[in-house]
Chain A
Amino acid sequence: QLQLQESGPGLVKPSETLSLTCTVSGGSISSGDYYWGWIRQPPGRGPEWIGTIYYDGATYYNPSLKSRVTISVDTSKNQFSLELRSVTAADTAVYYCTRRRRSSSNRDYWGQGTLVTVSS
C-alpha cells in the first residue's frame, strides 16, 4: 500500500524559507505513470495547488507562487521536496503531498498533511 509522509518544521519565521519533504513508501517515485505534488490548505479555507514534479525533474507551479517556490525530487531516496521562500503569515496552512496519475485528474494518494505556522 502506497504511503506519503510529509516532514519538516511546524514553525517558520516570517521572511524565512519553508522546507518540507515527502517520503514515498510502498511504491517507486520513478514510475513514469505519476506526477508528485504539493497542495496547501489555510485554516478554514479550501485547498490551493502549489505545484507538481515528474520523476525526471520537470516542474509546474502555481503562477501566484512561482517566484517563491521550488519543488525537487530525489529518486535515490524516493522523496520529493518543497521550498517556499520569503514566507508571511498568509503562508500558514496544512501542507499535503500528493500523487496524481498522468493524463488524469486522479489524485488518489495524499499524505496526512502537516501544519506549518508562520510566526515570529
Chain B
Amino acid sequence: QSALTQPASVSGSPGQSITISCTGTSSDVGGYNYVSWYQQHPGKAPKLMIYDVSNRPSGVSNRFSGSKSGNTASLTISGLQAEDEADYYCNSYTTSGTWVFGGGTKLTVL
C-alpha cells in the first residue's frame, strides 16, 4: 500500500485560511468516506481533528473543516492561529481492509 500524497509544507499568516490536500486512489480515499485528519505537535501524540471526511470531534474548533472530491481529501483551517502550527496527517481506509497514512504536511504560521 502506498502512502497518501500530501504537500510537504504549507504556510499562512494569522487570520488567513489554508487548505491541505491528501491524494489517494479509488482504492482508498476515493472509495470510502473513512478519511481522517490528525494534528501533531512536536513530541506529542497525534490528535484527531476530522473523521469520516468532514466530521469534527467534540472539542475541536470549528475553524477546522474537511471535504473530499474524487480521490482527494482536503483539510481547511480558517482564521489561522499560532497554535495551529504543527504537522498534519491524513489517514484513509483501503479496499484491502487496512489503513494508510499520508506523508504529512508541516504547517507554518508566519
Chain B residues near A86 (CB-CB < 8 A): none
Q: Which residues of B contact A63 (CB under 8 A)?
A: 1, 96, 98
Name B's interface SS.
strand
B80 at the interface (CB under 8 A from A): no
Interface-facing stretch out of A12-20, A22-30, A46-54, A67-75: A46-54
Contact present for B101 and A48 (CB under 8 Å): yes
The count of residues in chain B whose C-beta lies closer than 8 Å to any C-beta of chain A is 27
Chain B 39-56 interface residues, beta-carbon cutoff 8 Å to A: 45-48, 51-52, 55
Interface residues on A, range: 20 to 34
Bound form: Cα–Cα A110–B101 in Å: 16
9 nearest A-B pairs in the assembled complex, by CB-CB distance: A105-B36, A105-B34, A106-B51, A49-B99, A110-B45, A46-B104, A105-B51, A47-B101, A46-B103
